[in-house]
Structure 1
Amino acid sequence: MIRVLLSLILGLCILATTSHAQANKRKLTDRDDLYGWEAIGRLDIGDESFCTGTLIAQDMVLTAAHCAVDGRTGKAFAPEDITFRAGLSNGNALAESRITQVAIHPSYGSKPPLSHDSVRIDVALLRLDKPIPYSVADPFALYSGRVLGNEVSIASYGRGRSEAITRERSCRIIDRQQGLILFDCDITFGSSGSAILAKNGSRWQILSVVSAVGTNGNRKVGFGMELDGIVSELKAIMRRDAPQPKASIRRLQVGSGKSGSGAKFISSGGG
């Protein structure tokens, strides 16, 4: 059984660094470095905070639910207050898009008490107002099948490195129980919502999302959740609550008796 003291990454301000991890981390600061990682981006929330998000479709970003909720008010941020900046490096993003829809599990609530249950559903999907072409960023797939071994990787933004993605090439799964995944990846401010990636063949796929930090004995560890089921539920919520297209009304102009398509209209003179 997992016996831990959890501390939620509220306000995006945790310190869970470990000295041994620094040597295994690399900043991805130019186009060549970013190759294959363009779908990871910084989520700017208002003018004060940020998280990390990952494209799982051209118009859909996966992140943590607490990234989309204002910790001071307990209310969800307005979608238009969130911007996704794919592949942000040194102030320049490969693509940038506002958010038009936020989907959070209905059981998550506005200010859920920290617990195993809340971490398990600490997942959000964000809809972009402008899809990002595959030629710019190739979305990551969710991991399917059995994970071989315990090696994972993470790429995120964070304190002191908010202008470029930093990738930790190798960290480890410590345990998987009760719908939670414990890992020793080096997470810090801004790492909330980052994808925990596992190798499936030659490709990295999303195994979990960074939710919280806690302790396992004297060891500081990160927490994510099993994604089976929760992402499908959020997609269903998105489809159900999708914004309806706005009807447009155009004033008819007085013309010569012909429409733009060449169709004729009967005039009062019978012509």
Structure 2
Amino acid sequence: MKILALILAAAALTFGTQATAQTSALRTLDTDYAAASWKAVGRIDFGQGAFCSGTLIAPDLVLTAAHCLYQPGSGTLWPTDTIRFSAGLRDGAAVAVRRASDAAAHASFEPTGAMSVHNVSHDVGLIRLSEPISTFDVPPFYIHEDRIAPGPVSVVSYGRGRANAQSRQKECQMLLREADAMIFDCDVTFGSSGSPVFSHLNGRGRIISVVSGMLDIEGEKRSIGMVLPARVAEVKSQMRLQVAPPTAKVRRITVGGGKQRSNIGAKFVKP
């Protein structure tokens, strides 16, 4: 299987201005009306100021990125009693807030491994909530099960500088798929790890991917995610069997390869 660096080399030759021309600007969902459809997207707080984005996919189950579940620089998972999910968080108020009762990162995700197609495609984690959230208050989103092709998608996320309200990019582009990894031109930042990427088909959006990290390709910022159905099913199976995910040390990669680290999730790499 190709490593991600080879994908990026191909992407740098393939991406053109036509692919990004339809991409819209990121917009804060700062009114009840604008945020009403996206209440299932929330902020996951891990203590000590760390957070990621996540999405309710069942009344008691939140989808996020596997690397979010590891404490930065410590080599250990966040204790479940420090994990809190705030659905639809906006300006300090959430539609529902729940603590975690269980959490699992995909067993094949390697926290210290290279940012390869294999690792990105397994960067999937699930959080079981201590109490379910009413589907009347917060309807969950479903996983996209159909064919995925390059074209328009959208993303809803939190991030550094916009941590207190969701932001939505109404349209960005899925540019390239290699095996079970995909590259997007969606606008994400630190804290956007675990954000849902939605399809534009069949009415209400379905989740085709979650944000695993960010890339710099010849000065252009790109985001990367994975194909979900099989990975989500595998992590659900882990949770049922109480299989513990790896506890190896997490390595955060910053742009330019420096030693600076962030405590809020998303990973950077510069080819």
Give the TM-score band, short-chain normalised. 0.7 to 0.9
The answer to whether the 8 A contact 1:41-1:86 is kept is: yes
Partner of 1:143: 144
Q: How far apart, CA to CA, are the structure 1 residues paired with 2:91 and 2:219?
A: 36
What is the letter of the counterpart of residue 94 of structure 1? V
Residue 128 in 1 paired to residue 132 in 2? no
Cα deviation 1:216-248 (Å, max 9, x = unaligned): 444321110111311100111111129xxxxxx
Q: 1:109 to 1:177 in 2, by over 3 A?
A: closer
Q: 1:30 to 1:150 in 2, by over 3 A?
A: same
Residue 227 in 1 paired to residue 228 in 2? yes
Q: 1:65 deviation in Å?
A: 0.5
What is the letter of the counterpart of residue 122 of structure 2? I
The answer to whether the 8 A contact 1:141-1:205 is kept is: yes
Partner of 1:239: 240
Cα deviation 1:82-120 (Å, max 9, x = unaligned): 100000010001100001111112222453333222111
Q: How far apart, CA to CA, are the structure 2 residues paired with 1:196 and 1:100?
A: 26
Q: How far apart, CA to CA, are the structure 1 residues paired with 2:147 and 2:179?
A: 17
Q: Secondary structure at the match of 1:50?
A: strand
Q: How far apart, CA to CA, are the structure 2 residues paired with 1:179 and 1:148?
A: 12
Q: 1:177 deviation in Å?
A: 1.0
- TM, length-normalised to structure 2: 0.79
Q: 1:21 to 1:41 in 2, by over 3 A?
A: farther
Counterpart mapping for 1:25-40 below 5 A: 25-40=26-41
Q: 1:34 deviation in Å?
A: 1.4
Q: How far apart, CA to CA, are the structure 2 residues paired with 1:112 and 1:147?
A: 27
- TM, length-normalised to structure 1: 0.79
Partner of 2:257: none
Q: 1:25 to 1:119 in 2, by over 3 A?
A: same
The answer to whether the 8 A contact 2:157-2:192 is kept is: yes
Q: 1:21 deviation in Å?
A: 9.9
Greater fraction helix: 2
The answer to whether the 8 A contact 1:75-1:110 is kept is: no
Identity rate of aligned residues, in percent?
38
Residue 51 in 1 paired to residue 48 in 2? no
- Structure 2 portions without partners, runs of 5+: 10-20, 244-271
Partner of 1:183: 184
Q: How far apart, CA to CA, are the structure 1 residues paired with 2:67 and 2:150?
A: 29
Partner of 2:170: 169
Q: How far apart, CA to CA, are the structure 1 residues paired with 2:38 and 2:156?
A: 8
Partner of 1:115: 116
Q: 1:47 deviation in Å?
A: 2.4
Q: 1:200 deviation in Å?
A: 2.5
Over the aligned positions, Cα root-mean-square deviation in angstroms equals 2.1
Q: 1:4 deviation in Å?
A: 2.3
Q: How far apart, CA to CA, are the structure 1 residues paired with 2:104 and 2:203?
A: 31
The answer to whether the 8 A contact 1:101-1:128 is kept is: yes
What is the letter of the counterpart of residue 4 of structure 1? L
Partner of 2:260: none
Residue 4 in 1 paired to residue 5 in 2? no
Q: Secondary structure at the match of 1:235?
A: helix
Q: 1:178 deviation in Å?
A: 2.2
Partner of 1:96: 97
Q: 1:23 deviation in Å?
A: 6.3
Q: 1:81 to 1:112 in 2, by over 3 A?
A: farther
Cα deviation 1:2-32 (Å, max 9, x = unaligned): 4328xxxxxxxxxxxxxx9996222112322
Q: How far apart, CA to CA, are the structure 2 residues paired with 1:222 and 1:54?
A: 18
Partner of 2:62: 61
Q: How far apart, CA to CA, are the structure 1 residues paired with 2:45 and 2:115?
A: 24
Q: How far apart, CA to CA, are the structure 1 residues paired with 2:119 and 2:81?
A: 25
The answer to whether the 8 A contact 2:104-2:238 is kept is: yes
Q: Secondary structure at the match of 2:34?
A: helix
Q: Secondary structure at the match of 2:209?
A: strand
Q: How far apart, CA to CA, are the structure 2 residues paired with 1:110 and 1:180?
A: 17
Q: Secondary structure at the match of 1:236?
A: helix
